[in-house]
């Protein structure tokens, strides 16, 4: 197969390489200060192997500040302490509750650790 | 001590994690192309009146009538949950040998003041809590015994899916109650041979003199004999060996007659296997392509053919391999048949660094390598097959596998998340 040379291929790997003015060769003053870009996973996820994302498709949970189309971050390894929000199964259906003594019988699926709502 | 942790009906369990309405109900998972059942959970296996391994079109109505839920296989999901299970295991021992998608050995050497039954329970519970996948744990001094312990753990409800063989009394008791033919590593031929001389249980086998075992069952049998007697011979393998051959072959969703469509499917398979080559930094020396019609069909004319080529220079370049595969296909394809399957195999796998040129050609690495690296990195970032050779075409719908009842890819696609309604 004939392959045409595409000039810019070589630049791909250096995501955090500072821009260098090629004409003069002056290095960027930021050269030694660059860090990886902020990654939401670092802040929102503690146990990746137990974390699942779930989308809310209901307006029923506004009172828990979960709006329609919100993404729930669920960490199944977080203990279901009183007062936590949790995704639970009641009679074969998913539902969201705040854990307290008055809850109906449920099976815990996982504790909700963050709610990503769209700002309105 | 070694633990064998094994997921219960893994594929069906993966599906059930996200479907609480199916908890406690029969679930089966179908093979690629929805041809037959490849996995069934306990509830489905209990329906013994259904011949589970018949082609699906024969038993579909029977399954529906018994309220069995069918899923097309969703390997994206199973692979991801498997990784999560194996990662969780690493919290319990620094040495984990991933044996298959749903089974791992973990080394518990040095856990002297640990109650192993408790530890096994903890492993099982943590995996279930993290991932929703139920497992069984067998713990014993050797791999073969751990495998046996695992089997017992799953069978008796009193064990609650964890069983430890930690004394000679327990070991002998287990071996006396185990048929020789169900031992991991005893093939059918050997089982018959042993039964012919009156050896029916694993215990009887371990009581035979070693020279006899060595003579009759070679060194493989000797290792088993030692392992069953509690002497570890099989080591933990933490780093998987590079594969000797890499191949893929899937039935088309529909029978194909046109060469160009078959070539597109073949090019797609080549892209898949060459990506594996590159991921393990290897090249292949031989390319093997086969093409055949549906041998089960009584109405179709039958034809099958295959060819292997030696590559001028070992390669892992998708484009070179597609060109070679197309050459083969043009030679073996005959018009007028309804083809069912095309397959590719790459063998003679050698490390990338050892590739030599020949008198007439030198390995053209740089340009090609950069292009392939770019393709791989784009695909790992944006999804499988996002960037591929033009030869793979745009008519995938006409040949790809039937996956009529595939569940959403809950853990890898934003558009397919689990929803609460």
B399 contacts: CB under 8 Å, gap ≥ 6: B252, B253, B254, B256, B261, B262, B264, B265
Q: Are residues B274 and B321 in contact, defined by beta-carbon separation less than 8 angstroms?
A: yes
Closest alpha carbon to B32 in B84, B78, B69, B66: B78
Residue A34 inside a domain? The answer is no
Min Cα–Cα distance to chain B from A5, Å: 8
Please enumerate residues of A whose Cβ is less than 8 A from a Cβ of B. 1, 3, 5, 9-10, 12, 47-50, 52-58, 71-72, 76-77, 87, 89, 92-96, 107, 109
Whether A31 is in a domain gets the answer no
Put simply, the answer to whether B419 touches A55 (Cβ < 8 Å) is yes
User: Strand pairing of B304-315 and B339-351?
Assistant: unpaired
Q: Taking a C-beta distance cutoff of 8 angstroms, is the pair A76, A111 a contact?
A: yes
Region B7-76: CATH code: 3.40.1170.60
Chain A residues inside the 8 Å CB shell of B417: 53-55, 71
Q: Do A49 and B410 touch (CB under 8 A)?
A: no
Parent domain of A110:
40-116
The rounded distance, in Å, linking the Cα atoms of A98 and A76 is 15
Q: In chain A, which residues have their Cβ closer than 8 Å to the Cβ of B373?
A: 12
Tell me which of A52, A73, A79, A118 to substitute to probe the interface with B (most B C-beta atoms closer than 10 Å). A52
User: Nearest-CA residue of chain A relative to B318?
Assistant: A1
Coil, strand or helix at B360: coil
**In this complex, which of B23, B129, B319 lies closest to A76 when CB atoms are compared?**
B129
Q: What angle do CA B115, B118, B119 make, to 5 degrees?
A: 85
**How do B27-30 and B37-40 pair as beta strands?**
antiparallel
Residues of A in contact with B419 (CB under 8 A): 54-57
| Residues A53, B417: C-beta atoms closer than 8 Å | yes
Please say whether the structural domain B77-229 has been given the CATH code 2.60.120.260: no
| Chain B residues with CB-CB distance to A52 below 8 A | 410-411, 418
Residue A32, in any domain of the structure: no
pLDDT tens digits, chain B, 421 residues: what are they?
999 999 999 999 999 999 999 999 999 999 877 788 999 999 998 888 888 778 888 888 888 889 999 999 999 899 999 999 999 999 999 999 999 999 999 999 888 888 999 999 999 999 999 999 999 999 999 999 999 999 999 887 888 999 999 999 999 999 999 998 888 878 888 888 888 888 899 999 999 999 998 988 888 889 999 999 999 888 877 666 666 788 888 888 888 888 989 999 999 999 989 998 888 888 899 999 999 888 777 788 889 899 998 988 888 999 999 999 999 999 999 998 999 889 999 988 888 877 777 766 666 666 678 888 888 888 888 877 888 888 888 887 777 877 778 889 999 888 899 999 8
C-alpha to C-alpha distance for B228 and B145, rounded to whole angstroms: 6
Determine the 3-state secondary structure of B354 from DSSP.
helix
Phi and psi, residue A59, nearest 5°: -100, 5
Where exactly are the structural domains of chain B?
A: 7-76, 77-229, 245-398
> What is the count of structural domains for chain A?
1
B87 lies within 8 A of chain A by CB: yes
Domain membership of residue A9 (yes or no) is no
- Provide, as residue numbers in chain B, all residues whose Cβ is less than 8 Å from the Cβ of A55: 417-420
Cα distances (Å, whole numbers) of residue A65 to A41, A118, B414, B419: 22, 11, 21, 17
Could you write out the three-class secondary structure of B385-397?
CCCCCHHHCCCHH
Residue B275 near residue B376 (C-beta atoms within 8 A): yes
> Chain B residue with minimal CA distance to A74?
B130
Per the CB < 8 A criterion, the answer to whether B285 and B345 are in contact is no
Q: What is the DSSP string of A33-49?
A: G--PPP-HHHHH-S-GG
Do the domain assignments include residue A47?
A: yes
CATH of domain B245-398: 3.30.1490.100
Distance from CA of A97 to the nearest CA of B (A): 12
What stretches of chain A show up as alpha helix (H) in DSSP?
40-44
- Substitution target in B83, B134, B410, B420 with the highest count of A β-carbons within 10 Å is B420
Q: Which stretches of B136-177 are DSSP H helices?
A: 143-155, 168-176
Strand partners, B288: B308, B345
- Sequence-separated (6 or more) residues with CB below 8 Å from residue B178: B148, B201, B202, B203
Q: Is A84 helix (H, G, I), strand (E, B) or coil?
A: coil
Please name the residue of chain A whose CA is at the shortest distance from the CA of residue B91.
A49
ipTM of the complex: 0.78
Burial of B58 from C-beta contacts in 10 A (0-12 / 13-18 / 19+): exposed
Q: Which CATH number does the domain housing residue A85 bear?
A: 2.10.109.10
Does the pTM exceed 0.90?
no
Name every chain B residue with its beta carbon within 8 A of the beta carbon of A53.
Answer: 411, 414, 417-418
Sign, CA dihedral B236-B238-B240-B241, equals: negative
């Amino acid at each position: 197969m004939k392959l045409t040379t595409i000039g810019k291929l070589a630049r791909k790997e250096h995501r955090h390489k500072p821009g260098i003015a090629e004409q003069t060769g002056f290095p960027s003053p930021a050269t030694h200060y660059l860090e990886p870009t902020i990654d939401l996973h670092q802040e929102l996820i503690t146990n990746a192997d137990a974390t699942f994302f779930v989308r809310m498709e209901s307006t029923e949970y506004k009172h828990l500040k979960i709006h329609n189309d919100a993404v729930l971050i669920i960490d199944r390894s977080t203990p279901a302490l009183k007062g936590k929000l949790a995704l639970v199964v009641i009679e074969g259906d998913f539902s969201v509750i705040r854990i307290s003594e008055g809850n109906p019988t449920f099976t815990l699926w996982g504790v909700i650790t963050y709610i990503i709502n769209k700002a309105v | 001590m070694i633990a064998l942790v094994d997921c219960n009906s893994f594929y069906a369990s993966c599906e059930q994690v996200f479907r609480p309405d199916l908890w406690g109900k029969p679930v089966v998972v179908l093979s690629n192309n929805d041809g037959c059942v490849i996995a069934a959970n306990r509830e489905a296996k209990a329906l013994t009146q259904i011949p589970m391994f018949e082609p699906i079109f024969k038993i579909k109505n029977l399954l529906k009538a018994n309220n069995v839920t069918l899923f097309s296989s969703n390997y994206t999901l199973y692979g991801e949950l498997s990784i999560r299970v194996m990662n969780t295991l690493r919290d319990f021992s620094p040495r984990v040998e991933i044996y298959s998608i749903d089974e791992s050995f973990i080394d518990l050497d040095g856990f002297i003041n640990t109650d192993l039954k408790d530890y096994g329970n903890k492993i099982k519970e943590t995996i279930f809590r993290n991932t929703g996948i139920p497992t069984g744990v067998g713990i014993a001094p050797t791999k073969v015994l751990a495998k046996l312990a695992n089997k017992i753990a799953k069978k008796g409800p009193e064990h609650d899916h964890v069983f430890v063989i930690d004394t000679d009394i327990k070991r002998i008791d287990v071996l006396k109650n185990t048929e020789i033919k169900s031992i991991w590593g005893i093939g059918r031929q050997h089982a018959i041979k042993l039964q012919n001389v009156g050896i029916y249980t694993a215990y009887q086998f371990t009581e035979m003199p070693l020279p006899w075992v060595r003579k009759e069952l070679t060194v493989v049998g000797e290792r088993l004999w030692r392992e069953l007697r509690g002497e570890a011979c099989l080591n933990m393998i933490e780093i998987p060996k590079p594969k000797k051959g890499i191949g893929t072959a899937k039935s088309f969703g529909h029978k194909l007659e046109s060469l160009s469509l078959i070539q597109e499917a073949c090019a797609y398979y080549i892209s898949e296997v060459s990506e594996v080559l590159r991921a393990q930094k290897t090249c292949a020396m031989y390319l093997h392509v086969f093409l055949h019609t549906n041998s089960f069909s009584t109405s179709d004319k039958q034809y099958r053919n295959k060819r292997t080529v030696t590559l001028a220079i070992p390669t892992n370049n998708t484009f070179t391999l597609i060109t070679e595969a197309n050459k083969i296909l043009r030679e073996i394809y005959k018009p007028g048949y309804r083809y069912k399957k095309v397959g590719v195999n790459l063998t003679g796998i050698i490390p990338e660094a050892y590739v030599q040129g020949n008198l007439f050609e030198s390995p053209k690495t740089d340009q090609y390598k950069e292009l392939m690296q770019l393709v791989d990195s784009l695909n790992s970032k944006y999804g499988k097959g996002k960037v591929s050779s033009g030869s793979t075409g745009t008519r995938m719908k006409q040949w790809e596998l039937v996956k009529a009842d595939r569940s959403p890819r809950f853990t890898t696609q934003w558009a397919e998340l689990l929803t609460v309604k």
